[in-house]
Structure 1
Amino acid sequence: MAPGGPGQVPYGYPGGPAGYGYPAPHMPGPGYPVPPAAGPGSYGWPGMQPMPSNGLGTAGMVLGILAAIGFCMWPVAILLGVLAVIFGGIGRGRAHRGEATNPGQALAGVICGASGIVLALVMLAFLIAA
């Protein structure tokens, strides 16, 4: 992508640079509105929403799956399961606030992480009993 954005904006298209539909903000012409300024958290284009932060929900799901699959390595599975529950819980909170779009992945991370912890503890109890 070019440093100035996705490329040249066609003549007369709203949101373009001064001279392409809008005058410069310090010299508004008669009948021409001043373009809206980009607010905090935006990427510079009017009307653009910030990207969702889905990283923690996805990380929780991946760690939960690894904890559930690798329960035979019980110390690692317990650690991964705890991290999966934490990341999945934070991811669910972000999805509830509308900052993320993957509440299902975060919930899968919590469930798989908890099941990985339980399976690892059962494996530890089995090793202690044997």
Structure 2
Amino acid sequence: MPEMSDPNDPWAPPESRPPQPPPYQPPPGVHDQPTMTSIPGTGGELPPPPTAPGGPAQSTPYGYPAPTTPTGGYGYPGYPGYVQPGWQQVPSNGMGIAALVLGIVSVVVFCLYGLGVILGILALIFGIIGRKKAQRGEATNHGMALAGVILGAVGIVVSGAFLAFAIWMIVTHGNTDTYEEEHGADPFDTSLVSHR
């Protein structure tokens, strides 16, 4: 009996090496399997594939179905049996957002001598445009546009009232020289003077 040598010894004679396992054989692939051309037990051929919802497909010279455009949508042409969803329009909510921001700013800066009135008018205009877009289905922020209209109107009223008050104060009490002539030399004198 030959003596067993080290299994890792490359110079050992083949008779003295331990038996090696067979080399790895991968399992057969899917494409190596036989193709089924009929249903077992029926004796007939396979039935044709069902027709697409749009009707039978037109074939090209190579046997592939002709590309078709999906109805009612945008995008690239599709193939029968594959329904490509149409591109949906992104809502244009810019006018409603601008109306809300301008309405808030017009209420906050009401004391800046007319800037609140201008911003309130812009908020009112953008809010009306935004509401019309939302009614047509082009935008999804109807409430935001309505809030912009309301805040714009409030900004116009509050800023207009403050502007009118500021103008009234300037007109009636703006000239200190007139006050000095009517009431004395120092308008800020707080001493009590009795005139008998």
TM-score w.r.t. structure 1 length? 0.69
* Cα distance per residue 1:79-110 (max 9 Å; x no partner): 10000000000000000010000000000100
- Structure with max Cα Rg: 2
Structure number with higher helix proportion = 1
Contact (CA 8 Å) 1:80, 1:113: kept in 2 or not? yes
- Residues 75 and 86, structure 2, Cα contact 8 Å, conserved in 1: no
The aligned residue for residue 123 of structure 1 is 162
SS of alignment partner, residue 74 of structure 1: coil
Give the distance between the partners of 1:115 and 1:125, measured in 2 at CA: 15
Q: Give 1:124 shift.
A: 1.2
- What is the rounded CA distance, in whole Å, between the counterparts of 1:59 and 1:26 in structure 2? 53
d(CA) in 2 for partners of 1:48, 1:37: 12
Task: From 63, 70, 74, give the equivalent of 1:36.
Answer: 70
1:81 lines up with 2:101 in the alignment:
no
The CA deviation at 1:26 is 8.4
Letter of the 1:36 counterpart: P
Residue identity over aligned pairs, in percent, reads: 50
Structure 2 Cα separation of the partners of residues 75 and 43 of structure 1? 49
Alpha-carbon distance between aligned partners in 1 of 2:59 and 2:154, rounded to the nearest angstrom: 62
The whole-number CA distance in structure 1 between the counterparts of 2:151 and 2:139 is 20
Q: More relative contact order in 1 or in 2 (CA 8 Å, sep 6+)?
A: 1
RMSD: 2.6
Gaps of 5+ in 1: 1-24
TM-score by length of 2: 0.47
* Dislocated runs of 4+, deviation >2 Å: 25-30, 32-35, 42-48
